[in-house]
Amino acid sequence: MGLTLAQVLNTVAHEIRTPLAVSQGYLKLYLDGRLTTPDDQQRALEKTRDALGLIATLCVDMNRVGTLSESPDPPLTGHIAAAQLIGSLHAAKELEGAAWQGDTAPTASVASTSAHDLIRAVAIVARAAFDEARESPRAFRVDAGDGRTLALLAGAEESVPSLQSGPGDAKARPVDLTRGGKGLTLIWASFVLQQHRVQTWNHEDHRASVGFRFPLVQV
C-alpha cells in the first residue's frame, strides 16, 4: 500500500484534533470561571492532563513513522516460517475471538526484517477490519495461494470470500488508514507491511474486510 505525504499529514491532523479540542475546552471552562468547585477544577485539570498526554504519545508515534519512512525498502535478510507466522497470529490479543479457517500453511517461509513487527502489523490492520465488523462473526482465512505467496483474509465472515480474487481485483481498494480511530498506528503498520513487500487490500463492497498477500521464500 503506497502512502502519500497528504495521507500521513491528514491522519496526524485527525488524530491530534480530538485531544487538542478536549484540552482547550477544559482550559476555557477553567479560565472563564465556570468551574466553581475544587472537584470540578481537579477533574478538568486531570482531563486536560490526559489529553495532553495523548498528544505526547502521538508525537512519539510520529517519530516512529518518520524513522520507518526514511528507509521503506530495507533488505529482507531474515525469515519466519509461514506456520509460525499463523500460529503467532492465532495467539495475538488483537485477534481474539476470530474463527480461523483453512489454517494449513505452506512449508515455506515469509521473508522478514522483524518477525515481531510483521506479526504486530498484521494484527493491528486486521483488528481495524474486525472493529468495523462490530457484532458480526469474525473470520480469518488462510489461503496457500499459488505456492509463491501466502494469503490471509480477515474481517466479517460474510466479507472474507469477496477478498479471494486478490489485490488485483477491480473492487480491491487500499486500506483505509483513518478507520478505528487508530490512524497513526495503522500508518506504522502499513509501513512495516510495505517494508515486508506485503500486499494489503480491502473490498469496496465490504468495509469490514482486509487481505494480506505475503511473498514466500524457500530456506
- Look at residue 212 in the predicted model and tell me its pLDDT: 95
What is the C-alpha separation between 147 and 106, in angstroms, rounded? 7
Task: Write out pLDDT tens, residues 49-98.
Answer: 999 988 888 887 777 777 766 665 677 778 899 989 999 999 999 898 89
Can you give the pTM of this predicted structure?
0.77
Domain boundary among 28, 45, 70: 70
What is the C-alpha separation between 167 and 190, in angstroms, rounded? 15
What is the C-alpha separation between 145 and 166, in angstroms, rounded? 10
Give the distance from CA 188 to its chain's centroid.
8
Q: Are 35 and 134 found together in one domain? A: no
What is the C-alpha separation between 64 and 58, in angstroms, rounded? 10
CATH of the domain at 20: 1.10.287
Q: Are 93 and 196 found together in one domain? A: yes
State phi, psi for 21 to the nearest 5 degrees. Answer: -65, -40
Count the domains in the chain: 2
Bigger pLDDT: 143 or 43?
A: 43
- Look at residue 189 in the predicted model and tell me its pLDDT: 86
Predicted confidence band of residue 125 (pLDDT cuts 50, 70, 90): very high
What is the C-alpha separation between 26 and 109, in angstroms, rounded? 52
- Look at residue 210 in the predicted model and tell me its pLDDT: 94
Report, as an integer, the average pLDDT of 3-29: 83
By residue range, what is the domain housing residue 95? 78-217
Cβ neighbours, 10 Å, residue 94? 17
Strand partners, 138: 156
Contact predicate 19/49, CB 8 Å? no
Sign of CA dihedral 20, 22, 25, 27: negative
For residue 4, pLDDT over 70 is answered with no
Predicted confidence band of residue 182 (pLDDT cuts 50, 70, 90): low
pLDDT over 90 for what percent of the chain? Answer: 39
Domain boundary among 53, 70, 87: 70
